[in-house]
């Protein structure tokens, strides 16, 4: 019985996919069952092959990476997703971690690190492998350690709806000074430099819902 770990490679660069397949299959205990260059093909191949692991680039054509992850998980619940990326962004990492990915690795990782991550993703579903910069890791850990309070979320959601501090204070029955204090705390926790930046980072990290749009 073939008990090799099956892998689906998703990246829009054919040369990278082929090189990665050669690297993985050189392990002997890994079998690459498919390659995809866009999100639609990734979901279709995941549904067909039900691989143990999906190696997914964040910048493929088609759906946003978070949507692609959700669709892969729905099509093949056993598949464990490991992100491979050139982009070391803490808020993207945090956002994807909320979707139960099993790893986020920069493409600069060594061969041994990648192989270890693939085997760990199949063997231990409770383990998450991160190979990112120290700065990014610190920010991800900081976001986990200092989530927004319920009141801070309320304030930021109203900021996202373009309400002024005075309007937010009236809506929530607070003083304007209290609203400003909550916003200062939000800026510190998210590392934000403006109201818009705070909203964007909170939405990206799934801390608040995207602002509603009106026709």
User: 196, exposed or middle or buried, with CB in 10 Å at 0-12, 13-18, 19+?
Assistant: exposed
Query: What is the pLDDT, as a whole number, of residue 2?
Result: 78
Query: What is the pLDDT, as a whole number, of residue 132?
Result: 65
Q: And the tokens for 22? A: 């050669």
Q: And the tokens for 194? A: 């403006």
Query: What is the pLDDT, as a whole number, of residue 214?
Result: 47
Element (H, E) at 85: strand 80-85
Query: What is the pLDDT, as a whole number, of residue 145?
Result: 47
Domain 146-204 is found in CATH 3.50.50.60: no
Q: Which residue has the tokens 């866009």?
A: 38
Q: And the tokens for 180? A: 């400003």
Do the strands 80-85 and 129-131 form a parallel or antiparallel pair, or are they unpaired? unpaired
pTM of the model: 0.65
Query: What is the pLDDT, as a whole number, of residue 144?
Result: 52
- Measure CA 95 to chain center: 4
Q: And the tokens for 11? A: 């990246």
pLDDT in tens, the chain (215 residues): 579 999 999 999 999 999 999 999 999 999 999 999 999 999 999 999 999 999 999 889 999 888 999 999 999 999 999 999 887 766 677 778 878 899 999 898 899 999 999 999 998 877 788 876 656 555 555 555 456 788 999 999 999 999 999 999 999 999 999 999 999 888 877 777 789 988 988 887 778 888 765 44
Q: Which residue has the tokens 């890994």?
A: 30
Q: And the tokens for 198? A: 């705070």
What's the DSSP call for residue 210?
P
Q: Where are the domains of the chain?
A: 5-142, 146-204
What CATH class does 5-142 carry? alpha beta
For residue 150, what are the contacts with CB-CB under 8 A and spacing of at least 6? none
Cα–Cα dist 114/201, whole Å: 29
CA geometry: angle 86, 88, 93, nearest 5 deg: 115
**Strand stretches in 86-210, DSSP E:** 103-106, 129-131
């Amino acid at each position: 019985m073939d008990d090799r770990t099956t892998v689906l490679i998703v990246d829009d660069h054919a040369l990278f996919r082929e090189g990665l397949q050669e690297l993985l299959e050189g392990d002997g205990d890994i079998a690459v069952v498919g390659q995809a260059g866009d999100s639609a093909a990734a979901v279709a191949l995941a549904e067909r092959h039900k691989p143990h692991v999906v190696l997914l680039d964040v910048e493929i054509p088609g759906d946003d990476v978070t949507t692609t992850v959700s669709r892969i998980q729905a099509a093949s619940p056993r598949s464990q997703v490991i992100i491979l990326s050139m982009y070391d962004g803490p808020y993207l990492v945090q956002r994807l971690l909320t979707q139960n990915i099993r790893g986020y690795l920069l493409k600069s990782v060594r061969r041994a690190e990648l192989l270890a991550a693939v085997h760990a993703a199949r063997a231990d579903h409770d383990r998450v492998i991160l190979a990112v910069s120290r700065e990014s890791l610190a920010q991800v850990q900081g976001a986990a350690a200092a989530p927004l309070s319920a009141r801070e979320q309320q304030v930021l959601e109203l900021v996202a709806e373009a309400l002024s501090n005075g309007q937010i204070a009236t809506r929530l029955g607070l003083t304007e000074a209290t609203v400003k204090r909550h916003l200062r705390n939000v800026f510190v926790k998210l590392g934000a430099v403006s109201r818009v930046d705070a909203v964007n980072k909170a939405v990206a990290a799934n801390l608040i819902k995207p602002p509603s749009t009106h026709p």
